[in-house]
């Protein structure tokens, strides 16, 4: 008998893999979060502190909507102890919900400080207690892999989307293919079948006729991850750039964030090294990696840098100040545009700024030697889909090589792991069906 309805923030396509984490667990009914809209955001803004991050506001609005219209009283949220306020959203949101009369709301926290320490596994015993059911270790392990696999494929689909849309001959075909692929991914919960989903992605994108001779403008599209994910909040800016004929290199998604929390992201390590001179530590948001992305894109001869962030996000505002400082003009010469977003942003104003930014990049391409002489390189994803399709053997090798590369990266840690804390969390998880209390073993 289902007795708990659980949901979470939609965050663009992210709901697909968060559903995977709770798939087929007894006593739990997953409720798909609806599309974010004006009413949802307005409700969140009305009940939030004025100067809190915009993602806090629209996520709170989603919770209020789910409570009133979908009978959801149990929410899953991330929790952290780092420099960014995002890790404390859930605790504050729970208090606000109770203050406005939603007394029976419950929060289940995925602790994300360091996924290697297994603290996040604590969410399952708490859900078991709430449902009165026991979850098998097999299902939890399977769902963890479902979450990782689906997060990877969502990231890959949206990354290729940014490279293909500017080339499409039949307008809107990229959008249709993306929606088809996301529906297929959402409905597939067999890990063996998902292991071949890379091929499915390539085959569907290959159906889109493209201009193979095109050498489009290239931009690095980045910012605070939550506003990057939610299309209502960012006005699908990535899609607008693509329609303008710009090749969009999207920098971050949740899978990349998970790899970082597992200490398995080679890319984030590389970006941290590049940014170290200017931002030597994590200051919150994605600021340190955005600085690295800017420098890396500039080295590759990109034409521009598009940076979006919540109105009051201090880390991202600090990054903007560094890039715009007059004394740094020689170091940061690639054009950059910074767009802060909140509940009163207007699309037409943003579109006007983006059109002017496009004209600036076109002018650079024609007259500025730094950009005019930059050699265009066709992205590997475009080559592999349209010019040099992979063989069956290459798909097989890739399905093994990628997970192994991530594992080997994780085994070469740059951050020290509290081994005792990890063992304690692992034993607590494994002993949850046993009669003794593991805490007593550690005298806690």
**Mean of the pLDDT values across residues 89-103?**
91
Residue 317 and residue 279: Cα distance in Å, rounded?
13
Confidence of residue 182 (pLDDT cuts 50, 70, 90): very high
- Name the token pair of 121: 């596994």
**Is the pLDDT at 434 greater than 70, yes or no?**
no
> What pLDDT was estimated at residue 326?
67
Q: CATH 3.40.50.11900 region(s) of the chain?
A: 216-376
**Is the pLDDT at 262 greater than 90, yes or no?**
no
Tens-digit pLDDT profile for residues 98-155? 999 999 999 998 888 778 888 888 899 999 999 999 999 899 999 999 999 999 999 9
> What pLDDT was estimated at residue 439?
54
- Which range (50-59, 119-128, 196-205, 420-429) has the least confidence? 420-429
Tens-digit pLDDT profile for residues 302-346? 999 999 999 888 989 999 999 988 667 788 999 999 999 987 778
81 vs 124, more confident: 124
User: 216-376 architecture in CATH?
Assistant: 3-Layer(aba) Sandwich (3.40)
> What pLDDT was estimated at residue 426?
83
Q: What is the residue whose two structure tokens read 């109770």? A: 98
439 vs 360, more confident: 360
**Mean of the pLDDT values across residues 232-255?**
93
- Per the CB < 8 A criterion, the answer to whether 77 and 109 are in contact is yes
What average pLDDT is seen over the chain?
Answer: 89
Residue 343 and residue 170: Cα distance in Å, rounded?
33
Tens-digit pLDDT profile for residues 347-401? 888 999 999 999 999 999 999 998 988 899 999 999 999 998 888 888 888 888 7
> What pLDDT was estimated at residue 435?
47
- Name the token pair of 223: 């910012």
Confidence of residue 410 (pLDDT cuts 50, 70, 90): confident
Percent of the chain, pLDDT > 70? 96
**Is the pLDDT at 1 greater than 60, yes or no?**
no
Q: To 10 degrees, what angle do helices 89-99 and 54-70 make?
A: 50
Percent of the chain, pLDDT > 90? 62
**Is the pLDDT at 407 greater than 90, yes or no?**
no
- Per the CB < 8 A criterion, the answer to whether 329 and 304 are in contact is no
Look up the CATH number of domain 4-135. 3.40.50
Q: Which residues pair with 309 in a beta bridge?
A: 340
**Is the pLDDT at 240 greater than 90, yes or no?**
yes
- Name the token pair of 265: 């992201």
Confidence of residue 244 (pLDDT cuts 50, 70, 90): very high
> What pLDDT was estimated at residue 291?
95
């Amino acid at each position: 008998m289902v007795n708990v309805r659980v949901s979470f923030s939609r965050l663009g396509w992210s709901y697909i893999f968060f559903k995977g984490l709770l798939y087929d667990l007894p006593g739990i009914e997953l409720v798909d979060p609806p599309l974010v809209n004006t009413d949802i955001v307005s409700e969140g803004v009305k009940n939030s502190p004025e100067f809190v991050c915009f993602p806090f506001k629209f996520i709170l609005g989603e919770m209020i909507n789910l409570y009133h219209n979908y009978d959801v009283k149990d929410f899953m949220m991330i929790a952290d102890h780092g420099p960014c306020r995002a890790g404390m959203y859930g605790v504050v949101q729970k208090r606000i919900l109770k203050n406005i009369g939603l007394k029976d709301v419950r929060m289940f926290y995925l602790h994300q400080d360091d996924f290697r320490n297994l603290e996040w596994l604590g969410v399952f015993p708490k859900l078991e207690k709430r449902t009165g059911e026991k979850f098998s270790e097999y299902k939890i392990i399977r769902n963890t892999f479902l979450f990782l696999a689906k997060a990877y494929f969502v990231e890959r689909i949206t990354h290729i989307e940014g490279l293909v849309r500017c080339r499409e001959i039949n307008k809107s075909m990229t959008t249709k293919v993306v929606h088809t692929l996301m529906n297929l991914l959402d409905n597939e919960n067999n890990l063996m079948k998902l292991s071949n989903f890379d091929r499915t992605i390539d085959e569907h994108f290959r159906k889109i006729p493209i201009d193979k001779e095109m050498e489009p403008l290239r931009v690095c599209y980045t910012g605070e991850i939550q506003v990057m994910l939610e299309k209502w909040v960012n006005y699908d800016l990535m899609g607008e750039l693509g329609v303008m004929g710009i090749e969009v290199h999207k920098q971050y998604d949740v899978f990349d964030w998970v790899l970082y929390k597992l200490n398995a992201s080679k890319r984030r390590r590389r970006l941290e090294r590049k940014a170290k001179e200017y931002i030597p530590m994590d200051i919150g948001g994605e600021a340190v990696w955005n600085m690295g992305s800017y420098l890396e894109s500039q080295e590759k001869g990109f034409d521009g840098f598009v940076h979006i962030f919540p109105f009051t996000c201090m880390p991202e505002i600090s990054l903007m100040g560094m890039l715009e400082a007059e004394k740094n003009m020689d170091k940061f010469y690639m054009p950059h545009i910074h767009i802060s977003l909140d509940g009163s942003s207007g699309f037409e104003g943003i579109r006007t700024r983006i059109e002017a930014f496009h004209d600036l990049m076109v002018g650079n391409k024609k007259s500025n030697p730094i950009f005019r002489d930059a050699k265009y390189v066709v992205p590997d994803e475009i080559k592999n889909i349209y010019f040099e399709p992979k063989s069956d053997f290459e798909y097989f090798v890739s399905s093994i090589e990628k997970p192994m590369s991530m594992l080997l990266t994780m085994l070469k840690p740059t951050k020290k792991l509290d081994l005792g804390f990890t063992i304690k969390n692992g034993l607590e998880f494994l002993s949850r069906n046993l009669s003794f209390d593991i805490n007593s073993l550690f005298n806690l």
